C-alpha cells in the first residue's frame, strides 16, 4: 500500500501546524455546538490531592465576576480563620458566608455535638439552595460530614435536587459518597502526585488555608 | 490467641469515637509539628479534569485574604473575558492581571505569532517573579505553552527558581512537563471522573469560565 500523499499546502512544518490547528478548532466548535443545554450543574471535587476547596473558591470568584450572588457553607473547618473567609467576607452583599464552626472533627470528641452542629449548618445550606437569587452554592468539605454520617446523604441529595432553577452547586471534600457521584454532572478526583507537606514544608498561608 | 481486651473507657460507641478522634488528633498534630519549614512553594495543577485553573484562582483569593499582593498571567486563553478576570480586575492595587490575549491556540494558525505572544507574556511573568512585593504568582495554562514548545521549559524553570524569596507560584494546565513536576513541591492531577459537557450540557458561566 502506498502512503497517502499530503496535500501540497501541508508540505512545510508551518503549514502542517496551521492545518492541524484548523482541524482541531473545527472539532472543538462542533462539540461546543452539540453541548447546547443550559442549566444549573452539580460539581463534585473529591480525592486526596490539593485543590478541592480552592477550586470551589475559584468558582465563587468566577460567579461573582459574572454578577451572580453566591452562598458558601464550610462544614467541619471552623476554628482558624482562613484566607478565603477573610477575603470573601469583604463582599457581604454578594457572598453569604457561613462556617460550621467546631474545628476539624478530630478536635472534638463528642459525636452528638458534631451531629447537631452539622445539622444546623445544613439548615443554612438548605436556605441558600432554596434562594433563587443565589447563582452558586459552595458546600465546602460537605463530603467529610457525609462520610462521618453526621448528615444523611439522601436528605442532602433531595435538597440539592430541589434547589432553585439554574443554580450551580459545588461540593468538596475527600471520600465523596457514591450516591453523590451518581447524582453529579461533573466529578473530579484531585489525585495527589506529591505534596510539600511530605517534604517537611509547613502549611502555608495563601496555599493551604 | 485471646482477642485484646479494650480498655474500660472505650466500651461504649461514644467513648470509642472519642478515643479514635483523640488518637487521630495526636497523629495530625505530630505531623504538623514535624512539617516546620516555611518557604515559598511551587504548586502544579495538571490532568484532564476540571479545577486546575479554578483552584489557582481560589489560591489567589486565599492569598488576598492574608493581605498578600498577587500576580496573574493567563497563557493562551484570551479572546473571551472570563468571570475570574472580571472579578479580580476589581482590585488593581492588589492583583496585577495579565492575559496573553490571542485566544485558544486552535484559533490561531500562525505558529510564529503564537511563539512571539508567549514570549511577551513570559516577560510579564518574569517581572512578577522578580518582584518581592508579590506573594503569589499564578501562571494559568502555562503548561499548554510549554507543551506546544512556545516557551523553553529550562528558561521557565530557571526564572521560577530565581524568584523572590517566600513567593508562591502556581502553574496550571494539562500535560505538565516532567521537568516541571520534578521541580514542584506540590503536584495534583485533576482526574476526570465525569463532565457535564459529555452529557450535552453547555459550558456555564461561573462554572467553566
Residues of chain B with pLDDT under 50: 1-9, 104
Q: What is the ipTM score, two decimals?
A: 0.81
Domain B40-199, CATH class in plain words: alpha beta
Give the pLDDT of residue A116.
86
- Greater model confidence, A38 or B185: B185
Between CA A62 and CA B83 the distance in angstroms is 4
Q: Which of A19, A83, A185 sits opposite B196 (nearest CB)?
A: A185
Share of chain A above pLDDT 90, in %: 59
Q: What is the least distance, in Å, from the CA of B18 to any CA of chain A?
A: 4
Minimum CA–CA partner of B38 in chain A: A202
Strand B134-140 versus strand B95-99 pairing type: unpaired
> Taking a C-beta distance cutoff of 8 angstroms, is the pair A83, A209 a contact?
yes
> Taking a C-beta distance cutoff of 8 angstroms, is the pair B140, B60 a contact?
no
B186 and A45 within 8 Å at the Cβ level: the answer is: no
Interface A-B: count of C-beta contacts within 8 A: 283
Between CA A124 and CA A129 the distance in angstroms is 9
B59 and A54 within 8 Å at the Cβ level: the answer is: yes
Q: What is the least distance, in Å, from the CA of A9 to any CA of chain B?
A: 13
Within 8 A of B55 by CB-CB distance, chain A residues are: 50-51, 54-55, 58
Between CA B35 and CA B187 the distance in angstroms is 17
B35 and A197 within 8 Å at the Cβ level: the answer is: yes
pLDDT digits (tens, 9 = 90+) for A159-170: 999 999 999 999
Grid cell digits, residue A190: 484531585
Nearest to B160 by CA among B73, B84, B78: B73
User: What is the pLDDT averaged over residues A31-42?
Assistant: 69
Residue A152: C-alpha distances to residues A126, A157, B58, B122 (Å): 13, 9, 29, 49
Give the pLDDT of residue A108.
62
Give the pLDDT of residue B1.
42
- Greater model confidence, A193 or B200: A193
Q: What is the least distance, in Å, from the CA of A144 to any CA of chain B?
A: 14
Between CA B173 and CA B175 the distance in angstroms is 7
Going from N- to C-terminal start, the domains of chain B cover 8-37, 40-199
pLDDT digits (tens, 9 = 90+) for A83-131: 999 999 999 999 999 998 655 455 566 788 888 889 999 999 999 999 9
Give the pLDDT of residue A15.
79
What rounded mean pLDDT belongs to chain A?
85
Q: Which of A54, A57, A185 sits opposite B199 (nearest CB)?
A: A185
pLDDT digits (tens, 9 = 90+) for B192-202: 998 876 777 77
pLDDT band at A32 (very low <50, low <70, confident <90, very high): low
pLDDT band at A4 (very low <50, low <70, confident <90, very high): very low
Minimum CA–CA partner of B172 in chain A: A51
Amino acid at each position: 500500500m502506498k502512503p497517502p500523499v499530503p496535500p501540497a499546502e501541508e508540505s512545510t512544518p508551518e503549514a502542517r501546524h496551521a492545518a492541524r490547528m484548523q482541524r482541531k478548532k473545527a472539532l472543538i466548535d462542533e462539540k461546543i455546538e452539540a453541548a447546547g443545554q443550559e442549566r444549573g450543574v452539580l460539581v463534585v471535587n473529591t480525592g486526596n490531592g490539593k485543590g478541592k476547596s480552592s477550586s470551589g473558591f475559584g468558582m465563587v470568584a468566577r460567579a461573582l465576576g459574572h454578577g451572580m450572588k453566591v452562598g458558601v457553607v464550610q462544614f467541619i473547618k471552623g476554628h482558624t480563620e482562613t484566607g478565603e473567609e477573610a477575603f470573601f467576607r469583604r463582599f457581604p452583599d454578594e457572598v453569604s458566608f457561613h462556617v460550621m464552626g467546631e474545628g476539624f472533627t478530630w478536635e472534638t470528641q463528642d459525636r452528638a455535638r458534631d451531629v447537631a452542629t452539622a445539622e444546623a449548618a445544613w439548615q443554612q445550606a438548605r436556605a441558600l439552595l432554596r434562594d433563587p437569587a443565589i447563582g452558586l452554592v459552595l458546600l465546602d468539605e460537605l463530603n467529610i460530614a457525609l462520610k462521618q454520617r453526621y448528615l444523611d446523604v439522601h436528605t442532602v441529595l433531595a435538597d440539592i435536587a430541589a434547589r432553585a432553577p439554574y443554580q450551580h452547586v459545588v461540593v468538596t471534600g475527600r471520600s465523596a459518597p457514591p450516591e453523590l457521584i451518581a447524582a453529579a454532572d461533573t466529578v473530579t478526583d484531585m489525585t495527589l502526585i506529591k505534596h510539600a507537606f511530605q517534604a517537611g514544608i509547613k502549611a502555608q498561608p495563601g496555599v493551604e488555608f
